[in-house]
Chains A and B, each alone.
Chain A
Amino acid sequence: MMDSWLFDVVDALLALTAVVLAAMSVLGSDQKRSIVLFIAFGLLLSLIWARLQAPDLALAEAAIGAGLTGALLLSALPYSTAEKGACRQQRAWADIAFNRALRGLAATLIAGVAIAMIWALDDGRLQSVPFTVSEQVFGHLPHSGVGNPVTAVLLNFRAYDTLLELAVLLCVALGILALGQPSVPVVAPGPVLVLLVGILVPLLVLMAGYLLWVGAHAPGGAFQGGAVLAAAGVLLLLSGHRDAWLPGPRLLAAALGAGLFLFIGAGAAMTLSGAVFLEYPEGWAGAIILLIEAMALLSIAVTLVLAYLGGPPAPSPSPPARHTDVEGH
Chain B
Amino acid sequence: MVELLAGVLMLSGAVMFLVGSIGLLRLPDIYCRLHALTKVDNLGLGLIVAGLVLRHSDPRLAIKMILVWILLLASSAAIAHLIARQALRRESE
> Which positions in A face B, CB cutoff 8 Å?
190, 192-193, 195-196, 199-200, 203
**Number of B residues whose C-beta is below 8 Å from A?**
8
Whether B71 pairs with A196 at a CB distance below 8 angstroms is no
**CA–CA, A256 to B82, complex, Å?**
33
16 CB contacts below 8 A, A to B, read A190-B81, A190-B82, A190-B85, A192-B78, A192-B81, A192-B82, A193-B78, A193-B82, A195-B78, A196-B74, A196-B75, A196-B78, A196-B79, A199-B74, A200-B75, A203-B71
A173–B71 CA distance with the chains assembled, in angstroms: 32
Residues on B lying within 8 angstroms of A by beta carbon are: 71, 74-75, 78-79, 81-82, 85
A322 shortest CB reach to chain B, Å: 21
For B71, give the chain A residue with the smallest CB separation: A203
Q: Top 10 nearest A-B pairs by Cβ distance?
A: A196-B78, A192-B81, A192-B78, A199-B74, A193-B82, A190-B85, A196-B75, A192-B82, A196-B74, A193-B78
CB distance from B56 to the nearest CB of A (A): 15
Chain A contact residues: helix, strand, loop or mixed: helix
Shortest distance between the CB of A214 and any CB in chain B (Å): 13
State A101–B19 Cα separation when bound (angstroms): 44
B77 to chain A, nearest CB (A): 8
Q: How far is the CB of B29 from chain A (nearest CB, A)?
A: 18
A203, B75: Cα distance in complex, Å: 12
Residues in B neighbouring A192, C-beta threshold 8 A: 78, 81-82
Tell me, in angstroms, the Cα distance from A196 to B74 when the chains sit together: 8
- Distance A190 CA – B71 CA, assembled complex (angstroms): 20
Specify the main secondary structure of chain B where it touches its partner. Answer: helix
Nearest chain A residue, comparing its CB with the CB of B77: A192
Given A196-B78, A200-B75, 11 additional A-B pairs, CB 8 A: A190-B81, A190-B85, A192-B78, A192-B81, A192-B82, A193-B78, A193-B82, A195-B78, A196-B75, A196-B79, A199-B74
| CB of B41 to closest CB in A, whole Å | 14
Complex CA distance for A160 and B74, rounded to whole angstroms:
42
The complex places the Cα of A269 from the Cα of B82 at a distance, in Å, of 52
Tell me the smallest distance from the CB of B93 to a CB of chain A, in Å: 15
> Which residues of chain A come closer than 8 Å to B74, judged between CB atoms?
196, 199
* A195 contacts across to B, CB distance below 8 A: 78
Which residues of the other chain, B, contact A193 by a CB distance below 8 angstroms? 78, 82
By a CB distance below 8 angstroms, the chain A residues around B81 are 190, 192
- How far is the CB of A248 from the nearest CB of chain B, in Å? 31
Separation in Å of the A50 CB from the closest CB of chain B? 15
Least Cβ distance of A265 to chain B in Å? 38
CB distance from B79 to the nearest CB of A (A): 8
* Nearest residue, chain A, Cβ from B82: A193
Which of chain B's residues has its CB closest to A191's CB?
B81
How far apart are the CA atoms of A203 and B72 in the complex, in Å?
Answer: 13
Expressed in whole angstroms, the minimum distance between the Cβ of A224 and any Cβ of chain B is 17
B74 smallest CB distance to A (angstroms): 6
How far in angstroms is the closest Cβ of chain A from B50? 19
Complex Cα spacing A190 to B84, Å: 12
- How many Å from the CB of A146 to the closest CB on chain B? 23
Q: Which of B71, B78, B79 has the most CB of A within 10 A?
A: B78
